[in-house]
Amino acid sequence: MKNELSAEQIAFYRENGYLAIENFLAPDELARWSRVTDEAVSLRLSGGKEGSISHTLNNQADPDAFYANVFTQCLKLIEVHPEMRELICDARLGKLAATLAGVDGMRIWHDQALYKPPFGNPTGWHLDNPYWSFFNRDSLSLWVALDDATLGNGCMWYIPGSHKTATFQNSGIGQNIGDLFKIYPQWREIDPVAVPVPAGSAVFHNGLLAHGAGANMTNRPRRAMTCGYMPDGSVFNGVNKNILPDDVFEALKPGDVFNDDALTPLIWHKSWEQK
């Protein structure tokens, strides 16, 4: 894993709101991420004890729905596969995310596999952080390509710099991929950037950066494993349930700090390096 960041990479991330790291994983690491993600997705979709199927943790309840064909979305795979927990809770990933964001510690909000199927629908333009149960301008996502991500199969696209002017208003990932630009018409003037990357590459993006992905015009899946990160110290926004269990959501009050390591694992903190 390429876990060193140059000053130029950090500056690029802060200015543009994203950073691609090509060939982030070594070939043997990519093979493991790919195998473990396939296994965990199968468990999540199959339900039963290990899969603990729930409509909030995968989006395949109605396989003919538009959204089900944007991608097969399987959340919280660290709960169904011990090896996935090892991969996602890697302190090196937490340090990378914290360093890009410029914060002291990083927690997992949720991981998710996003497999765009053959001939899959495009991923409409959206922001990530407004979906989550905390609002934080330093939140971010990691997107790891398990297959080559190309212009033809739905690589990521970004509106560079949009994280600077985003509020927490969002549009859903719906059939009209440009709905977000009704909320932020000023972003229509910024040229979108496509980020095709070979399998094993990683892209980080700010939780308020406008992003989307094209349709998959090919007959093979475009698989990605991703993770949303929450800066340590973030608080409940009182707005979104998102992945919170019912009892947790009902007990929380706006302003409560998310500091439960079982729900939101702390995977890196600056203080750990000074021990």
Ligand X SMILES: O=C(O)CCC(=O)C(=O)O
Cα–Cα distance between 198 and 200 in angstroms, integer? 6
> In the set 43, 85, 88, 128, which binds Fe ion (CB under 5 A)?
128
β-bridge pairing 211-213 and 123-126: antiparallel
Cα–Cα distance between 36 and 84 in angstroms, integer? 6
Alpha helices in 128-269, H assignment, sequence order: 180-183, 246-251
Three-state DSSP class for residue 34: helix
Binding positions for ligand X, 71-90, rule CB under 6 A: 71
> In the set 58, 141, 201, 234, which binds ligand X (CB under 6 A)?
141
Residue with smaller CB distance to ligand X, 98 or 210: 210
> In the set 19, 75, 114, 243, which binds ligand X (CB under 6 A)?
114
Binding mask 31-70 for ligand X (x = CB under 6 A): ----------------------------------------
3-state helix, strand, coil in the chain (%, to 5): 30, 25, 45
Exposed / middle / buried, residue 101 (Cβ in 10 Å: 0-12, 13-18, 19+) = buried
CB of 7: closest distance to ligand X in angstroms? 26
Cα–Cα distance between 125 and 103 in angstroms, integer? 27
Residue with smaller CB distance to Fe ion, 99 or 139: 139
> In the set 213, 225, 230, 244, which binds ligand X (CB under 6 A)?
213
> In the set 79, 111, 128, 138, which binds ligand X (CB under 6 A)?
128
CB 147 within 8 A of CB 199: yes
> In the set 143, 204, 229, 258, which binds ligand X (CB under 6 A)?
143
Residues lying near Fe ion in the complex (CB under 5 A): 128
Residues contributing to the site for ligand X (CB under 6 A): 71, 114, 116, 123, 128, 141, 143, 154, 211, 213, 224, 226
